[in-house]
Chains A and B, each alone.
Chain A
């Protein structure tokens, strides 16, 4: 069990109180091991985004236990969770969320600045991450000069640059056409093959098939948790 990265026991996340109470997560038990590629799916309002926020330490569980690499996240304050994100987590968003009017390279540098990496090392690491996503030649372009697919690749480079334990992707292909989506998914798949643990929320079956494990959520609960067909086929 030493390779367990994420462990949830009876995790709930409740918004509001009384009549307006919403149980976005309603008793989640989950173990994710190092090197897994997990897709989370479910109808809208099923709690998949909340699950990703909790897993990404952007949010805290209302009750239950969430251990990240053995650390109980529920007892951490805001700043301590920020440190967890800084050192162990990388994020990829649907809307890319790059800093506007800031070059691709500087966007990728951002997490490294907060890691306190010296400028020279930072530039090397950021350039290497951009190279990994095949955008070394676009390093000095602003997001506005890049296509959607390229922007998302910059975002993936940013998530990678800090050398995280887990990459969390929230509908990474939601804004992209099929061709670009496939490119992004192949990129993520490649990173996973190199050992990166990836957790991805998506509502597209095709994209979920790139993962090795599919979690289906309904009403804040995990309804199904199984290997994807592709994973079964690969294993078979």
Chain B
């Protein structure tokens, strides 16, 4: 009986192929949106996780800002960096961090990027390696000469595939010798490119670009096996002490751990997911109403058929089942198309954004179940109407 009913549902849908397709368009769009969104979200989150793990989950960012809007506050100095390393056992190492947007020039090629002033401890803090050349020497760091280390993206923009080490580029007005090349990390989460970076010694950054000895940010790496929150509070109390903040005063600096960054990213992803989910929800609702509408039309068109079925002995439940299954098959047909479309969309977006494409079987199953659910919910009312028809009236229907 069930097999016949399902066959019948397919027949009914095939007879009205165009109408059926237009009807399930809403479900197609809804399911495609959900599938694409979840798949892209999963890819982005996989990447962020990988990146955080790659950079070390123990990374902490300390910046001299205060208040709700991160207004610049009293800067740090190099003693602060040393104090963090020496006085907090959990701190593995720390590096000063200053950055600004500049245009780099090599011959007739130029490239605008983030120029970062730091020292060689930066490589330990971020867990990055050089694939070519060398780090800054202590002498270079002390005297502030113009040397730089390039990220892969910058190298490609200025040198193509050529070896930049030993070459000179211009950073604004500064002529700078390339001494090293960073190992590429690959595309960043949400389109941020971690390889689009130039490192110069902090002293050089202060002297030649910033014009002061101020340090506005410090990157800190905690030792493996130490607690993130413990590290954060140790840094906070040390900084409060060094900056002489009274117990009743607020911090005039900000400590941000990777955990917190991951949380913020999760929040952003959550907001995006919520937004897309509501669009998908509306689309599925409209799709469901479309199915209900077309099923009502179908019940009216096939009133006589229903009368015939009732006359030959179909029970109300069997008629209900027939139309319910038809609605579910219709809706799942939309679900399958939407699923394929969603995965294709996710693959394209993943390619474009440079994030991994992570299709999930659970998502496919969910889309399947969800579209069936839509069919049941919105097919029930028309099916019940069919089941309640009076056989005599139905047979008389023209």
Contact = CB atoms under 8 A, between A and B. Distances in A.
Nearest to B396: A95
A144 interface: no
A82 B15 contact: no
Contact of A97 (B304, B314, B316, B317): B304
A79 B310 CA distance: 10
A113 B309 CA distance: 10
Given A97-B395, A113-B4, A85 B313 contact: yes
B315 interface: yes
Contact of B1 (A86, A98, A113): A113
A100 B11 CA distance: 12
> Of residues B304, B311, B317, which shows the largest number of chain A Cβ atoms within 10 Å of its Cβ?
B311
B391 interface: yes
Interface string B42-79: 00000000000000000000000000000000000000
Contacts of B314: 82, 86, 114
Contact of A79 (B307, B308, B309, B316): B316
A87 interface: yes
Q: Is the interface of B mostly helix, strand, loop or mixed?
A: helix
Given A58-B392, A101-B15, A82 B308 contact: no
Contacts of A58: 310-311, 391-392
Contact of A110 (B1, B307, B312): B312
A99 B311 CA distance: 12
Looking at A58, A82, A83, which has the most chain B CB atoms within 10 Å of its CB? A82
A179 B217 CA distance: 104
A78 interface: yes
B318 to A, nearest CB: 7
Contacts of B177: none
Contacts of A113: 1, 4
Interface string A96-129: 0111110000000011011110000000000000
A210 to B, nearest CB: 23
Given A58-B391, A93-B395, A99 B312 contact: no
A116 B395 contact: no
B304 A82 contact: no
Interface residues of A, number: 27
B2 to A, nearest CB: 11
A91 B311 contact: yes
A87 B318 CA distance: 16
B280 to A, nearest CB: 36
A87 B314 CA distance: 11
A50 to B, nearest CB: 9
B312 to A, nearest CB: 4
A99 B308 contact: yes
A189 interface: no
Interface in A125-176: 158, 162
Contact of A99 (B305, B310, B315, B391): B305
Given A78-B316, A85-B313, A53 B392 contact: yes
A122 to B, nearest CB: 10
A116 B309 contact: no
Interface in B361-398: 391-392, 395
A116 B1 contact: yes
Given A101-B15, A116-B1, A79 B392 contact: no
Interface in B165-194: none
Contacts of A36: none
B392 A91 contact: no
Interface in A45-99: 53, 56, 58-59, 78-79, 82-83, 85-87, 89, 91, 93, 97-99
Interface string B349-370: 0000000000000000000000
Contacts of B318: 114
Contacts of B305: 99-100
B1 A85 contact: no
Interface string B91-115: 0000000000000000000000000
Contact of B307 (A83, A97, A111): A97
A59 B393 CA distance: 11
B220 to A, nearest CB: 75
B1 A83 contact: no
Which of B304, B309, B391 has the most chain A CB atoms closer than 10 A to its own CB?
A: B391
A111 B312 contact: yes
29 contacts: A58-B310, A58-B311, A58-B391, A78-B315, A78-B316, A79-B316, A79-B317, A82-B314, A83-B315, A85-B311, A85-B313, A86-B312, A87-B313, A89-B313, A91-B311, A97-B304, A97-B311, A97-B395, A98-B308, A99-B308, A101-B15, A111-B312, A113-B4, A114-B1, A114-B313, A114-B318, A116-B1, A158-B312, A162-B312
The 10 A-B residue pairs with the shortest CB-CB distance in the complex, in nearest-first order: A86-B313, A111-B312, A79-B315, A85-B313, A82-B315, A114-B313, A58-B391, A91-B311, A97-B308, A113-B4
Interface of B: 1, 4, 15, 304-305, 307-318, 391-392, 395
Given A82-B313, A114-B312, 20 more contacts: A53-B392, A78-B316, A79-B316, A79-B317, A82-B310, A82-B315, A85-B312, A86-B312, A86-B314, A93-B395, A97-B311, A97-B395, A99-B305, A110-B308, A110-B309, A113-B1, A114-B1, A114-B313, A115-B313, A158-B312
